Structure 1
Amino acid sequence: MCGRFALTAATEDLAEFFQLVDLEPFPPRYNIAPTQPVLMITAGPARHPGSNLPDRQAFLVRWGFIPSWTRDVSQMPLMINARAETISEKASFKAAMRHRRALLPASGFYEWKREGKVSRPYWVRPRNGGIVAFASLVETYAEPGGSEIDTGAIVTTAANLEFAHIHHRMPVVIDPRDFERWLDCRTQEPRNVTDLLKPAQPDFFETIPVSDAVNKVANTGPELQERAEHKSLPEKAASKKKLADINQLDLF
């Protein structure tokens, strides 16, 4: 799962990384949460005149996917993630997977590791720094009043072995050399890009324990990403957790 992330790169670095023309200034954000506007990139309608850059456009969407056929938004769950294993068949996502694939720029994401009754937050970033692109889907939802809203979800997959001890899911990372293929919904059908929906290489991310200040959406400063060693669980609580994990394994 991916429920919080950050994007702190300079606008010019984003434009260069994604080969974009005329990218509007985008301020650094350290604690992006569901339902907030997020930057996404799709294939554009036409190549920019006089430019050799790829045909791409960037725009803001609501983080929380709403299928176009939704009649009552209040009855729909908040879909911030789409499972890579089922997006080509699931009714909510299959049209977007075929026609509206996107990239979501990030500097990293936050994940919580469950330890007994406590959840420990981690800041997960590329080991070598820089920008990362998450596979995403976009859908335009027409509200009953006639207005339209662009919405989106991040595609997730099973965690790699290095990350699995924190959480069993992680965002799908699209390598820059695969941007064109992932975004090309004209000639590349879902079956042509499913090979891209895989976990990141084991050494791609590094995980940094951070304070639980990130739990509050109102906290938005760079201090959220500072290392904060987590206190060890009491031995008794740790033993109970280990026993619970063993019992859980017995179910499979």
Structure 2
Amino acid sequence: MCGRFAQYSDPDAIARHFDLETALQPEPRYNVAPTQPVLAVRLDAHGRRELTRLRWGLVPFWSNGPDNRYSMINARAETVASKPAYRAAFAKRRCLIPADAFYEWQPGERAKTPHAIRRNDHGLFAMAGLWEHWEGEDGAVIDSCTIIVTEANALLAPIHDRMPVILDPSDYGTWLGTESPDQEQLQTVLKPADPNGWDAYPISRSVNKPGNDSPALLEPVGAD
């Protein structure tokens, strides 16, 4: 799964990477956690790419609202097209989740060891996501999202059995829907990332607490 990640690239870098005309002015985040707002790229009503903020943890449009008993921060690539909670969003409301790193926890004899995973060049990348629009009877509105996960690649497998779907930039248009893809075409991009060009290394357990949010979280430490 993907339960924490970092979004700290500056707005200009985000705008260039995702071909955005304008961008928000977000604060750098080094420990984004579920239920918090995250940056996402989606298509606006005119079919243009926009950077927006979405609540992390999908709230289906037909539900009664957020339910903390159920974790909907991740959707499995193998079933995302058929699960009732995700299939409508998979068909019509796909998004990109910009990220600079993500975190996974490796089981150990005494405790789990958190690892940071990011590109060798520390560059920006995009995780495949879905978004949903929910309106309550009281007028409350929530735009939310989930991150799609797939089986781990060779780099991640010793740490965790799942990883987020990391899209190649050439597939951004396909995923967002600018090229009107069918579901079979969409499924072809939901695959583990090539492990070449990526690093995974142990970091401090300070990342376990969502309130800890600083560049120091990405510093490598010795494994237990």
Give, in angstroms, the shift of residue 185 of structure 1.
6.6
Q: Whole-Å Cα distance in 2 between the matches of residues 145 and 174 of structure 1? A: 37
Matched, 1:58 2:48: no
Give, in angstroms, the shift of residue 72 of structure 1.
5.3
Letter in 2 for 1:107: D
Q: 1:190-212 deviations in whole A, cap 9, x for unaligned? A: 22211000000021321121110
User: Which of residues 110, 126, 136 is equivalent to 2:129?
Assistant: 136
Letter in 1 for 2:169: P
Q: Whole-Å Cα distance in 2 between the matches of residues 27 and 126 of structure 1? A: 21
In structure 1, the residue matched to 2:31 is 31
- For these two proteins, the number of residue pairs brought into alignment is 224
Does the CA contact (< 8 Å) of 2:155 and 2:200 recur in 1?
no
Q: SS of 1:74's equivalent?
A: coil
Does the CA contact (< 8 Å) of 1:15 and 1:23 recur in 2?
yes
Q: Whole-Å Cα distance in 2 between the matches of residues 58 and 143 of structure 1? A: 24
Q: Whole-Å Cα distance in 2 between the matches of residues 197 and 116 of structure 1? A: 33
User: Which of residues 77, 83, 87 is equivalent to 1:90?
Assistant: 83
In structure 2, the residue matched to 1:181 is 174
Q: 1:87-127 deviations in whole A, cap 9, x for unaligned? A: 00000000000000100000010110001341000111012
Matched, 1:103 2:65: no
Q: Whole-Å Cα distance in 1 between the matches of residues 40 and 114 of structure 2? A: 25
In structure 1, the residue matched to 2:184 is 191
Q: Unaligned regions of 5+ residues in structure 2, if any?
A: none
Q: Whole-Å Cα distance in 2 between the matches of residues 228 and 56 of structure 1? A: 38
Please report the TM-score for the alignment, with normalisation by the length of structure 2: 0.95
Cα pair distance change 1:134/1:74, threshold 3 Å: closer
Q: Whole-Å Cα distance in 2 between the matches of residues 30 and 151 of structure 1? A: 20
Does the CA contact (< 8 Å) of 1:101 and 1:185 recur in 2?
no
Give, in angstroms, the shift of residue 186 of structure 1.
7.3
Q: 1:41-92 deviations in whole A, cap 9, x for unaligned? A: 1122226xxxxxxx20111000001111112533750210000000000000
Matched, 1:14 2:14: yes
Q: Which stretches of structure 1, 4 residues or longer, exceed 6 Å deviation after superposition? A: none
| Structure (1/2) with the larger helix percentage | 1
Letter in 2 for 1:229: G
Q: CA RMSD in A?
A: 1.5
Pairs within 5 Å for 1:237-252: none
In structure 2, the residue matched to 1:246 is none
Does the CA contact (< 8 Å) of 2:173 and 2:179 recur in 1?
no
Matched, 1:121 2:107: no
User: Which of residues 71, 77, 82 is equivalent to 2:64?
Assistant: 71
Please report the TM-score for the alignment, with normalisation by the length of structure 1: 0.85
Letter in 2 for 1:7: Q
Cα pair distance change 1:204/1:190, threshold 3 Å: farther
Structure possessing the higher radius of gyration over alpha carbons: 1
Give, in angstroms, the shift of residue 168 of structure 1.
0.2
Letter in 2 for 1:174: L
Matched, 1:205 2:179: no
